[in-house]
Chains A and B, each alone.
Chain A
Amino acid sequence: MGPLAQAVAPSHMPIVLRPLLPELILVGTALALMLLDALRPTPDQRPFVLLSLAGVAGAAAATLSLWTWKGPGSVLGGMIAADRFAVYFRLVILAAAALGILLSSYYLDRAGEARGEYYPLLLFATAGMTLITAASDLILIFLALEILSLSLYLLTGFSFRRLASAEASMKYFLLGAFSSAFFLYGIAFAYGATGTTNLAGIATALASRVNGDALALIAVGLLAVGFSFKIAAVPFHMWTPDAYQGAPTCVTAFMSAGTKVAAFGAFLRVFGVAFLPLAHDWRAFMGVLAAISIIVGSVLAIAQTDIKRLLAYSSIAQAGFILVGLSAGTQAGIQSAMFYLAVYAGTVLGAFAVVAIASVRGEEHTALSSYAGLARRRPLLGLALTAFLLSLAGIPPMAGFIAKVSVFSAAVQAGSWPLVLIAVLASVAAAFFYIRVIVLMYMQDPAPEIEGVRIESDPAGWAAVLAPAFLTVVFGILPGLLFGLLRTASVVRF
């Protein structure tokens, strides 16, 4: 037996697949849908919607059963972590996927873009997102990152007859591929510095060094750059506004929530486990990244005249706030970042769902001016968007307020006073452009050409708006519901 065979032979590595079950279900459903689309083409997209919802529900059930997992903390030769950290992130992502599917069925119907390839791609992206949060080996993290990115490049360009969509897809693709090369280079150096790609193994190797070694520091830097691209932190945010604006709104909703949660999940795991011994070196870097993301995102959002671009810049600023939690480098920091991510995912998904419905058909009315008087034309829609914007601005009683407070208090405990000061000032300034939209909706009369446009919706569209709105308010009033879970879920060791 050669060394390779010894290492991977079944007798040395029990094949425990249960912690991987959510991804297997998702990929299995996606493959079934691909075959269905290829062999039995049908003009009806309902079977696709229902089957993919069933797949997501199955994956969620498999994930929930892992909450009480008693087996080893990491399985398949240290590739997959079976911890509650992964369960939490997967549930958030799967919820976003389910709402994304509902919104897509609504949007694609009206935009005349319903094609069978859509739902398999969305499920593959979801599988990549859930896998990356459970992966505890850099190889698997890279593969999961590519699974989710490649699917999202295609989804972004899904309305390829609309030039903006094709163009957004190309920009997203070129910058995404560029950033994954940096990410990969970082992995190569981490491997060279420690001789392993396993996160816990890297931590062990680094902890035994007296001084940080140069190769490991290069690895930290390059991996941070790669992750920053995916979470859209300044100065690696250039793709975000274009991709968010050009993509079909249902894709924007799904990817703005899902990608950020997934990438942050892996970010927290890699830096909270593998590079924890070097925390002293990367904390300041994260702090700087957080500060400029918040400032640049907030300032540029003020100048936007398109609601999708405005939300894109807002999501850049939000990435900065989440990074504040990460830069604390403590358990409380991770916990607050995880709370923030769940709140952010719900809020931004709901906000884009409102945009999809208010646009009536495809991408028709995304200019900010067409939101004038929205609250009078459709009171419920206006109310939901108000809730989301207040949450993004961090105004009580919305969940966004609790999220910001918890992130700030974690950073203060870790002694990052200047960072918190910048973040608080910027969030006060940022409240301006959120409130401007609310004022527009309630105080102004609709433009004459928009007045007659009838906004209709169906149950799927309403679900994608109202479920996040409900959660935004509930978690704002009863944050303990989530924090209770986070006490154990924020422990990350593999």
Chain B
Amino acid sequence: MQTGFVPIVILLVLAGAFGVLSLVVSWLLTPKRKVKAKLDPYECGIEPVRLPAKEQFPVKFYVVAMLFIIFDIETIFMYPWAVAYRSLGLFGLVEMIVFIGLVFVAYLFVWQKGGLEWEGPARPMGTLPASVEHTPGDRRREPAATGGA
């Protein structure tokens, strides 16, 4: 069994060496002409546009995409459970309820924090809803959002 793996080890080393080598060679050989087009990030032919500084750009798509990935992938744990559902019996059911309960807590959190609003969170990150009262001189949190409608 052991001798069978030796070629793999050699190949592993070769593969690693190939990676490092191509890095080094390309660094040594390439002429370094910094054309603007080359330095731009590749975006399928669309010219990347720099947004004006300090302007908030809509992040709703990213936020929704991120949340989708996270919640979508949780389903993966249900496949093995479904396969062994009958033999796992009550034990498996309880485990799955606990698991879904945990996901539900995360869902509640995201919902209440405004992560599911397509129009973007009603208030900037890290601030409290305007409904929360602030006592004078309170410096435990930042002031409530001004545009928190």
Contacts and interface: CB of A to CB of B under 8 A. Distances in A.
Query: Within 8 Å by CB, do A and B touch in the complex?
Result: yes
Provide the main secondary structure of the chain A interface.
Answer: loop
Contacts of A115: 126, 141
A39 B112 contact: yes
Contact of B84 (A5, A38, A160, A214): A5
A43 B131 CA distance: 11
Contacts, number: 74
Contacts of A5: 84, 87-88
Nearest to A15: B91
A114 interface: yes
A43 B109 contact: no
6 A-B pairs with the lowest CB-CB distances in the bound complex, closest first: A5-B87, A38-B112, A43-B141, A10-B91, A38-B109, A214-B9
B67 interface: no
Given A31-B105, A38-B113, A2 B84 contact: yes
B31 to A, nearest CB: 28
Interface string B103-134: 00110110111000000000001101100101
Contacts of B135: 43
Query: What interface size band does chain A fall in?
Result: 20 to 34
Contacts of B5: 213-215
Interface residues of B, number: 33
Interface in A106-141: 109, 112-115
30 contacts: A2-B84, A4-B80, A4-B84, A5-B87, A9-B91, A10-B89, A15-B91, A34-B109, A35-B109, A37-B109, A38-B108, A38-B109, A38-B111, A41-B128, A42-B132, A43-B128, A43-B132, A43-B135, A43-B138, A44-B140, A45-B140, A45-B141, A109-B139, A112-B139, A112-B142, A114-B141, A214-B2, A214-B5, A215-B5, A218-B9
Interface of B: 1-2, 5-6, 9, 12, 80, 83-84, 87-89, 91, 102, 105-106, 108-109, 111-113, 125-126, 128-129, 132, 134-135, 138-142
A8 B89 CA distance: 11
Contacts of A211: 2
